[in-house]
Amino acid sequence: MRILGVLATAALLGTGVLIADMVIPKPEEAAAPAATPAADGQAKAGLTKAQRAARRSAVATLTEQGYEPVRVADWHPEDTLRVLIGLDDSGAERAFFFVKRKFVGNDDAAASASVRVASTSENGVTLTYRLYRPNDEPCCPKGERVRVDFRWQDGTLTPAAAVPPAAERSR
Protein backbone atom coordinates (compact mmCIF):
# COMPACT_ATOMS: atom_id res chain seq x y z
CA MET A 1 0.00 0.00 0.00
CA ARG A 2 2.82 2.35 0.84
CA ILE A 3 4.56 1.64 -2.43
CA LEU A 4 1.37 2.43 -4.38
CA GLY A 5 0.98 5.68 -2.40
CA VAL A 6 4.56 6.72 -3.22
CA LEU A 7 4.09 5.87 -6.92
CA ALA A 8 0.80 7.79 -7.10
CA THR A 9 2.41 10.82 -5.43
CA ALA A 10 5.36 10.68 -7.85
CA ALA A 11 3.00 10.45 -10.84
CA LEU A 12 0.99 13.44 -9.57
CA LEU A 13 4.14 15.51 -9.02
CA GLY A 14 5.53 14.50 -12.42
CA THR A 15 2.30 15.59 -14.10
CA GLY A 16 2.48 18.94 -12.30
CA VAL A 17 6.07 19.49 -13.48
CA LEU A 18 5.12 18.69 -17.10
CA ILE A 19 2.17 21.09 -16.99
CA ALA A 20 4.32 23.84 -15.48
CA ASP A 21 6.95 23.30 -18.17
CA MET A 22 4.32 23.73 -20.90
CA VAL A 23 2.68 26.80 -19.33
CA ILE A 24 5.59 28.86 -18.00
CA PRO A 25 7.25 30.85 -20.86
CA LYS A 26 10.87 30.22 -21.63
CA PRO A 27 13.26 33.21 -21.20
CA GLU A 28 13.64 33.63 -24.99
CA GLU A 29 9.83 33.63 -25.44
CA ALA A 30 9.29 36.19 -22.68
CA ALA A 31 11.78 38.64 -24.23
CA ALA A 32 10.26 38.50 -27.73
CA PRO A 33 7.74 41.23 -28.62
CA ALA A 34 4.15 40.11 -28.73
CA ALA A 35 2.85 39.53 -32.23
CA THR A 36 -0.39 41.18 -33.20
CA PRO A 37 -2.54 40.28 -36.17
CA ALA A 38 -2.03 42.61 -39.11
CA ALA A 39 -4.80 43.76 -41.40
CA ASP A 40 -3.73 41.22 -44.03
CA GLY A 41 -3.90 38.34 -41.52
CA GLN A 42 -0.16 38.04 -41.04
CA ALA A 43 1.47 38.62 -37.69
CA LYS A 44 3.54 41.75 -37.22
CA ALA A 45 5.81 42.70 -34.36
CA GLY A 46 5.35 45.81 -32.25
CA LEU A 47 7.02 49.12 -33.06
CA THR A 48 10.79 49.36 -32.96
CA LYS A 49 12.51 51.77 -30.59
CA ALA A 50 13.02 54.28 -33.43
CA GLN A 51 9.38 53.99 -34.55
CA ARG A 52 8.14 54.56 -30.99
CA ALA A 53 10.42 57.62 -30.73
CA ALA A 54 9.03 59.03 -34.00
CA ARG A 55 5.47 58.50 -32.79
CA ARG A 56 6.27 60.13 -29.42
CA SER A 57 7.70 63.11 -31.31
CA ALA A 58 4.48 63.36 -33.35
CA VAL A 59 2.33 63.17 -30.21
CA ALA A 60 4.48 65.96 -28.70
CA THR A 61 3.72 68.11 -31.78
CA LEU A 62 -0.02 67.61 -31.22
CA THR A 63 0.33 68.43 -27.53
CA GLU A 64 2.29 71.63 -28.30
CA GLN A 65 -0.64 72.75 -30.46
CA GLY A 66 -3.24 71.95 -27.78
CA TYR A 67 -4.38 68.54 -29.04
CA GLU A 68 -4.20 64.97 -27.80
CA PRO A 69 -4.20 61.99 -30.18
CA VAL A 70 -7.54 60.25 -30.70
CA ARG A 71 -5.92 56.92 -31.74
CA VAL A 72 -2.17 56.33 -31.83
CA ALA A 73 -2.99 53.20 -33.86
CA ASP A 74 -3.55 55.53 -36.85
CA TRP A 75 0.25 56.02 -36.93
CA HIS A 76 1.70 53.71 -39.59
CA PRO A 77 5.50 53.87 -39.33
CA GLU A 78 6.02 51.90 -42.54
CA ASP A 79 4.44 54.72 -44.60
CA THR A 80 6.26 57.89 -45.67
CA LEU A 81 3.14 60.03 -45.09
CA ARG A 82 1.83 59.47 -41.58
CA VAL A 83 -1.16 60.94 -39.75
CA LEU A 84 -2.58 61.37 -36.27
CA ILE A 85 -5.99 62.85 -35.49
CA GLY A 86 -5.87 65.29 -32.59
CA LEU A 87 -8.67 66.25 -30.20
CA ASP A 88 -8.66 69.60 -28.35
CA ASP A 89 -10.37 70.57 -25.09
CA SER A 90 -13.51 71.77 -26.90
CA GLY A 91 -13.91 68.43 -28.70
CA ALA A 92 -12.71 69.70 -32.09
CA GLU A 93 -10.54 67.40 -34.22
CA ARG A 94 -7.77 68.01 -36.75
CA ALA A 95 -5.53 65.79 -38.80
CA PHE A 96 -1.79 66.25 -38.30
CA PHE A 97 0.39 65.00 -41.15
CA PHE A 98 4.03 63.95 -40.87
CA VAL A 99 6.63 62.81 -43.36
CA LYS A 100 8.73 60.43 -41.33
CA ARG A 101 9.21 62.55 -38.16
CA LYS A 102 8.69 65.99 -39.69
CA PHE A 103 5.34 67.77 -39.25
CA VAL A 104 4.17 68.91 -42.70
CA GLY A 105 0.72 70.35 -42.01
CA ASN A 106 -2.91 69.90 -41.07
CA ASP A 107 -5.86 68.84 -43.15
CA ASP A 108 -7.43 72.32 -42.95
CA ALA A 109 -7.03 75.63 -41.12
CA ALA A 110 -10.30 75.00 -39.26
CA ALA A 111 -10.95 72.02 -36.98
CA SER A 112 -13.77 69.51 -37.54
CA ALA A 113 -16.33 67.90 -35.26
CA SER A 114 -15.56 64.43 -36.58
CA VAL A 115 -12.68 63.29 -38.77
CA ARG A 116 -11.33 59.74 -39.02
CA VAL A 117 -8.54 57.96 -40.85
CA ALA A 118 -10.21 55.71 -43.43
CA SER A 119 -7.04 54.28 -44.98
CA THR A 120 -3.34 54.86 -45.48
CA SER A 121 -0.74 53.99 -48.09
CA GLU A 122 2.94 54.77 -48.63
CA ASN A 123 2.34 58.38 -49.75
CA GLY A 124 -1.38 58.82 -49.13
CA VAL A 125 -4.00 59.11 -46.43
CA THR A 126 -7.77 59.07 -46.85
CA LEU A 127 -9.76 60.95 -44.21
CA THR A 128 -13.50 60.73 -43.61
CA TYR A 129 -15.36 63.84 -42.44
CA ARG A 130 -18.80 63.56 -40.84
CA LEU A 131 -21.01 66.48 -41.90
CA TYR A 132 -23.82 68.18 -40.03
CA ARG A 133 -27.48 67.96 -40.96
CA PRO A 134 -29.58 71.06 -40.21
CA ASN A 135 -30.92 69.85 -36.83
CA ASP A 136 -27.84 68.01 -35.50
CA GLU A 137 -26.56 68.83 -32.02
CA PRO A 138 -23.23 70.74 -31.97
CA CYS A 139 -21.50 67.72 -30.43
CA CYS A 140 -22.68 65.15 -32.87
CA PRO A 141 -22.84 65.48 -36.65
CA LYS A 142 -24.99 62.74 -38.16
CA GLY A 143 -24.97 63.71 -41.82
CA GLU A 144 -23.14 62.13 -44.70
CA ARG A 145 -19.52 61.03 -44.58
CA VAL A 146 -17.20 62.63 -47.11
CA ARG A 147 -13.88 61.03 -48.01
CA VAL A 148 -10.89 63.16 -48.98
CA ASP A 149 -7.58 61.72 -50.18
CA PHE A 150 -4.36 63.49 -49.22
CA ARG A 151 -1.11 62.80 -51.10
CA TRP A 152 2.52 63.56 -50.40
CA GLN A 153 4.02 64.27 -53.81
CA ASP A 154 7.08 66.27 -54.83
CA GLY A 155 7.51 67.56 -51.27
CA THR A 156 3.96 68.88 -51.00
CA LEU A 157 0.89 67.72 -49.10
CA THR A 158 -2.13 68.03 -51.38
CA PRO A 159 -5.78 67.01 -51.00
CA ALA A 160 -7.14 65.29 -54.12
CA ALA A 161 -10.50 67.03 -53.57
CA ALA A 162 -11.61 70.01 -51.52
CA VAL A 163 -12.07 69.48 -47.79
CA PRO A 164 -15.75 70.11 -46.98
CA PRO A 165 -16.41 73.70 -45.87
CA ALA A 166 -15.88 74.36 -42.15
CA ALA A 167 -19.54 75.36 -41.74
CA GLU A 168 -20.59 71.83 -42.79
CA ARG A 169 -18.14 69.95 -40.53
CA SER A 170 -17.93 72.07 -37.36
CA ARG A 171 -20.19 74.18 -35.14
Worst-scoring range by mean pLDDT, 8-17, 53-62, 123-132, 146-155?
A: 8-17
Residue 43 counted as domain residue: no
| First and final C-alpha spacing in the chain | 85
One domain, residues 61 and 138: yes
Task: Tell how far CA 132 is from the center of its chain.
Answer: 26
- CA-CA distances (angstroms) from residue 130 to 79, 117, 164? 25, 12, 9
| Paired strand residues for 145 | 130
- CA-CA distances (angstroms) from residue 55 to 49, 77, 82? 10, 8, 10
Residue 101 counted as domain residue: yes
- When divided into structural domains, the chain yields a total of 2
Residue 62 pLDDT > 50: yes
One domain, residues 12 and 59: no
| Confidence class for position 15, pLDDT limits 50, 70, 90 | confident
Residue 42 counted as domain residue: no
One domain, residues 19 and 100: no
| Paired strand residues for 99 | 81, 102
One domain, residues 153 and 82: yes
pLDDT digits 0-9 by tens, 78-134 = 999 999 999 999 999 999 999 989 999 999 999 999 999 999 999 999 999 999 999
One domain, residues 29 and 55: no
Residue 38 counted as domain residue: no
Task: Tell how far CA 95 is from the center of its chain.
Answer: 13
One domain, residues 19 and 98: no
One domain, residues 14 and 97: no
One domain, residues 29 and 80: no
Residue 106 counted as domain residue: yes
| Confidence class for position 18, pLDDT limits 50, 70, 90 | low
One domain, residues 121 and 66: yes
Residue 39 counted as domain residue: no
Q: What is the mean pLDDT of residues 19-32?
A: 53
Residue 40 counted as domain residue: no
Q: So what's the pLDDT on residue 49?
A: 93
Q: What is the mean pLDDT of residues 137-145?
A: 92
**d(C-alpha 45, C-alpha 53), whole Å:** 16
114 closest CA partner among 85, 76, 71, 136: 85
One domain, residues 134 and 54: yes
Q: So what's the pLDDT on residue 23?
A: 63
One domain, residues 23 and 106: no
**d(C-alpha 144, C-alpha 53), whole Å:** 37
Residue 54 pLDDT > 90: yes
Tell me which residue range forms the domain holding 26.
2-33
Residue 73 counted as domain residue: yes
One domain, residues 12 and 85: no
HEC profile of 44-97: ECCCCHHHHHHHHHHHHHHHHCCCEECCHHHCCCCCCEEEEEEECCCCCEEEEE
Residue 145 pLDDT > 70: yes
Mean pLDDT of the chain: 86
Q: So what's the pLDDT on residue 127?
A: 98
13 versus 84: the higher-pLDDT residue is 84
Q: So what's the pLDDT on residue 6?
A: 83
Residue 41 pLDDT > 90: no
Q: So what's the pLDDT on residue 25?
A: 58
